[in-house]
Amino acid sequence: MSLNIIFMGTPEFSVPTLRSLIDAGHKVRAVYTQPPRPGGRRGLDLQKSPVHQAAELLGLPVFTPVNFKDPDERQRFRDLEADVAVVVAYGLLLPEAILTGTRLGCYNGHASLLPRWRGAAPIQRAIMAGDAKTGMMVMKMDKGLDTGPVALTREVEIGDTMTSGELHDRLMLVGAKAMAEAMNKLELDELPLTAQPSEGVLYAAKIDKAETRVNFGEPAADVHNHIRGLSPFPGAWFEAEIAGRPERIKVLGSELAEGNGAPGKVLTDDLVIACASGAIRPTKLQKAGGKPLAAADFLRGTPIAPGILLASEQA
């Protein structure tokens, strides 16, 4: 026995779950993903999503609707006669006609410990808030934003220096295994559902470019969490005067350091930077158009002298 599944996902994060469902013996009737977007060096080529590419390699039918407002799109979904839809980072809000368009409904793999960090950027927000743990949850979807009952939870610790990229890769694999386990239990009618608590709700708003500038006017722990929460993308940054002109420098890794001074003041040759309290040391840096470099390598080519005061206000 196996379930007939419609899979709905778009980025690289979703691909291991698609593969895990097939490896578990389930039949994927079709894959839904975001339409191809402009990409390439000049942004002129249409590029298929990672899920789209994986589905084609697996020989699976792929559909890329812009939305589900068209009655014909909704009917095509129902005509697949799937037992269940599995959704992982699809990127579209699903109307009730889709949520109820399969025999057993839609199940979502969400990268947080709900109800904490509902919404678009749970991985980044958990790190930026200094959370010690997060996880993957399999949830039965309803009309709300990540409000449905939870079927399965897998917790993951967040290390003190872990970046959002590293946590993304860990949760990607944990989530794939968890969803396959959940669908196996669903097939046996052994998947319990538990309503989310009403307390502890937090929303993980999409990362805005305006919040990517490092604010050294915050305590060192908050600056460190901000940096690692935005690494590797979009990347936190500060501005320093290099060769007589201001230049934006991304900080892709950091650690807490000893030192005190005016917020934004460079304290040492190895770029210990004072914060409102305490200090941080960047461990990986990148200039615009350059490659990410370990801080020691970066500073050999682009020294930033002690005593310089880096701007601490938000852009």
Detail the residues annotated as belonging to a binding site for (6S)-5,6,7,8-tetrahydrofolate.
112-115
Cα–Cα separations (whole angstroms), residue 186 to 5, 14, 38: 12, 20, 38
What 205-208 contacts at long range (C-beta under 8 Å, 24+ apart), as own/partner pairs, is 205/119, 205/120, 205/121, 205/125, 206/119, 206/120, 206/121, 207/121, 207/124, 207/234
* Residue 225 DSSP class: H
My answer on whether omega of the bond before 115 falls inside 30° of 0, hence cis, is: yes
At 193, is the secondary structure helix, strand, or coil?
coil
Binding annotation: 112-115
Quick check: 253 and 240 in contact, CB under 8 A? Answer: no
Question: Crossing angle, helix 15-23 and helix 164-187, to 10 degrees?
Answer: 30
CA dist 230 and 166 (Å) reads 11
Nearest residue to 233 via CA among 8, 32, 13: 13
Q: What residue type is 307 in one-letter code? A: G
CA dist 272 and 299 (Å) reads 12
CA dist 282 and 257 (Å) reads 10
Question: Crossing angle, helix 50-57 and helix 15-23, to 10 degrees?
Answer: 30
Cross-strand pairs, 5 = 28, 84
